[in-house]
Amino acid sequence: MRANPALTSGGVALLLLLVAGCSGTADHPVPGGDAARGEVLLFAFGCSACHIIPGVVGATETIGPPLEGFGRRVYIAGRLPNRPENLLRWIQDPQGMEPGTAMPNLPMSDDEARHIAAYLYTLK
């Protein structure tokens, strides 16, 4: 008995979508975010003082978690689902989301936070 190729490929596609959804590897679009600007802003805001950030010169500190692979992570700060709306809130007000965290609140605009988030999601 031969399987219908159309059904087989459709089943494989569905399985791949389900696996991607479970692993947290789905793309995280950040409307209005510019990843190239976000990379520059990470440096400008001094994120490299606490994080290892791939591609950012001098970003070798381990006070905060390394940001390598951030776009594949399931959680932010170990408990928030890794979705753009949570990341934007975390970038702008980590103390409000988790009082006492080592991540400081930084004075940045909504646009700056969007650009940083867009960059972080490129780190796969």
Q: What is the mean pLDDT of residues 62-75?
A: 94
On whether residue 107 sits in a domain, the answer given is yes
On whether residue 97 sits in a domain, the answer given is yes
CATH of the domain at 45: 2.60.40.420
On whether residue 21 sits in a domain, the answer given is no
On whether residue 82 sits in a domain, the answer given is yes
- Residue 103 above 50 pLDDT? yes
On whether residue 32 sits in a domain, the answer given is yes
Higher pLDDT, 5 or 43: 43
On whether residue 115 sits in a domain, the answer given is yes
Range of the domain at 97: 28-120
Give helix 110-120 / helix 35-44 axis angle, nearest 10°.
110
Stated pTM of the model: 0.76
Identify how many contiguous H helices and E strands the chain contains and give both numbers.
5, 2
